């Protein structure tokens, strides 16, 4: 059992991370070289197959148990007029997920993934982080643990998603705390705020940076002070996946900001992660660049819910279909291998 009972225990767990399986990755790369195609001709599909081999610890990885975990949380900062939608949409969308009516229900279906939606005290918004902490240590630890415990040890791939009106503002504040710069450089239109809304978002982020000051220098404290329950849970799930050596597929701006503290706490903290997509949220590309992550797809999506990760599962399936299903030069009697 991983001790996550205090901020220090979580911090320690983040610094004690297993590496991937080099042997399996080497064997997968060797297999790629024998398949009936010019070496390297499948580009990133080859890299994906080798990545999955490394983090599943087998030369021929599988995607039989793909888990999409969508965490939901409510934000006190929603009262500051930072979203184009009212705060109650968070709970209404949780009901919509349960009824099968959301985009992620459809995308999980085509991705062949199991969707789990985990609401985190959605009836209780976090604190307004412009004038206090978003979460107490107790609430934060509870959310990190909920995320950690949502990861099943037998999963072949974990995909993360979120629902929480106003959470693009929390994500922008977190990104600013982790990587520096003012609110203007990290906010985007989220659900579609107008220019005045965008200015309000930047003002809210700047107010949070000024209020919390030096306390934000610690990545874990930053996640607690300006994040949200669903962001803390995504962080906990990313940590669990890493400790279980399960590959992780991350989603858009909010998800990327939530897991970024893992990379700030341990240099290779996100080595088990692929970026499913780059969202249209203004600062997502910048955030991915800060983390050295190259997104798999760029479809102009800006939804959240794990939707970009779910779409990217299709590419992972394409990569493994070739990796596991193609004939070798020797098997096919093709010259030149």
Ligand X SMILES: Cc1cc2ncn([C@H]3O[C@H](COP(=O)(O)O)[C@@H](O)[C@H]3O)c2cc1C
Ligand Y SMILES: O=C(O)c1cccnc1
Q: Binds 21, which of ligand Y, ligand X, none (CB < 5 to 8 A, cut-off by type)?
A: none
Give the strand pairing for 248-250 and 273-275: parallel
Spatial contact of 195 and 263, defined as CB atoms under 8 Å apart:
no
Q: Binds 302, which of ligand X, ligand Y, none (CB < 5 to 8 A, cut-off by type)?
A: ligand Y
Neighbours of 63 (CB within 10 A): 19
Which tokens is 209 given? Answer: 């940076």
Give the helix/strand (H/E) hosting 45: helix 44-56
Contact window for ligand X (CB under 6 A) among 16-24, 25-33, 166-174, 233-241? 166-174
Name the nearest CA neighbour of 83 among 154, 177, 206, 170: 170
Q: Does the protein bind ligand X through residue 188 (CB under 6 A)?
A: no
Q: Beta strands of 190-281 (E only): which ranges?
A: 248-250, 273-275
Contact window for ligand X (CB under 6 A) among 121-129, 162-170, 211-219, 315-323? 162-170
SS3 66: strand
Question: Among residue numbers 113 through 142, which ones bind ligand Y (CB under 6 A)?
Answer: none
Residues listed for the chain: 337
Binding residues with ligand Y: total (CB under 6 A) = 13
Question: Among residue numbers 274 through 333, which ones bind ligand X (CB under 6 A)?
Answer: 303-305
Q: Does the protein bind ligand X through residue 166 (CB under 6 A)?
A: yes
Rg of the chain over Cα atoms, rounded to whole angstroms, equals: 20
Instruction: Supply the minimum distance, in Å, between the C-beta of residue 310 and ligand X.
Output: 13
Q: Does the protein bind ligand X through residue 130 (CB under 6 A)?
A: no
Sheet holding 113-119, edge to edge: 113-119, 66-72, 157-163, 248-250, 273-275
305 catalytic? Reply is: yes
Q: What are phi and psi of 150, to 5 degrees?
A: -75, -15
Whichever of 46 and 230 has its CB closer to ligand Y, that residue is 230
Looking at residue 126, the DSSP 8-state letter turns out to be P
Q: Which of 105, 168, 256, 279 binds ligand X (CB under 6 A)?
A: 168
Instruction: Supply the minimum distance, in Å, between the C-beta of residue 299 and ligand X.
Output: 15
Instruction: Supply the minimum distance, in Å, between the C-beta of residue 168 and ligand Y.
Output: 5
Name the nearest CA neighbour of 72 among 96, 51, 56: 96
Q: Does the protein bind ligand X through residue 191 (CB under 6 A)?
A: yes
The CA-atom distances, in angstroms, between 277 and each of 61, 105, 144, 298, 302 are 22, 18, 24, 6, 10
Q: Does the protein bind ligand Y through residue 168 (CB under 6 A)?
A: yes
Contact window for ligand Y (CB under 6 A) among 9-17, 56-64, 223-231, 253-261? 253-261
Q: Which of 147, 164, 269, 295 binds ligand X (CB under 6 A)?
A: 164
Q: Which of 24, 82, 254, 316 binds ligand Y (CB under 6 A)?
A: 254
Residues of this chain that bind ligand Y (CB under 6 A): 168, 190-191, 251-255, 279, 281, 284, 302, 304
Residues of this chain that bind ligand X (CB under 6 A): 83-85, 89, 93, 162-169, 190-191, 303-305
């Amino acid at each position: 059992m991983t001790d996550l009972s205090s901020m220090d225990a979580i911090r320690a767990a983040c610094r004690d991370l297993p590496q991937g399986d080099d042997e399996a990755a080497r064997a997968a790369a060797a297999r790629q070289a024998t398949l009936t195609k010019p070496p390297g001709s499948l580009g990133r599909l080859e890299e994906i197959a080798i990545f999955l081999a490394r983090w599943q610890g087998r030369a021929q990885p599988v995607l039989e148990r793909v888990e999409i975990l969508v965490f939901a949380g409510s934000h006190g900062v929603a009262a500051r007029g930072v979203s184009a939608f009212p705060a109650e949409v968070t709970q209404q969308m949780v009901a919509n997920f349960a009824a099968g009516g959301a985009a992620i229900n459809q995308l999980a279906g085509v991705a062949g993934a199991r969707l789990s939606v985990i609401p985190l005290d959605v009836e209780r918004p976090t604190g307004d982080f412009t004038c206090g902490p978003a979460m107490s240590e107790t609430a934060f630890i509870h959310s990190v643990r909920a995320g950690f415990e949502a990861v099943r040890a037998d999963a072949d791939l974990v995909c993360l998603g979120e629902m929480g009106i106003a959470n693009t503002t929390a994500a922008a504040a977190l990104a600013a705390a982790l990587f520096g710069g003012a609110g203007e450089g990290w906010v985007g239109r989220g659900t579609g705020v107008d220019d005045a809304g965008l200015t309000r978002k930047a003002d809210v982020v700047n107010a949070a940076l000024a209020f919390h000051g030096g306390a934000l220098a610690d990545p874990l404290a930053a996640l607690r002070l300006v994040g949200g329950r669903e962001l803390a849970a995504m962080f906990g799930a990313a940590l669990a996946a890493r400790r279980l050596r399960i590959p992780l597929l991350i989603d858009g701006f909010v998800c990327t900001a939530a897991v970024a503290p893992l990379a700030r706490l341990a240099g290779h903290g996100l080595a088990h992660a692929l970026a499913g997509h780059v969202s249209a949220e203004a600062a997502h590309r910048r955030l991915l660049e800060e983390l050295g992550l190259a997104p798999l797809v760029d479809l102009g999506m800006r939804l959240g819910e794990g939707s970009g990760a779910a779409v990217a599962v299709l590419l992972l399936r394409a990569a493994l279909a070739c990796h596991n299903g193609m004939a070798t030069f020797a098997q096919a009697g093709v010259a030149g291998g």
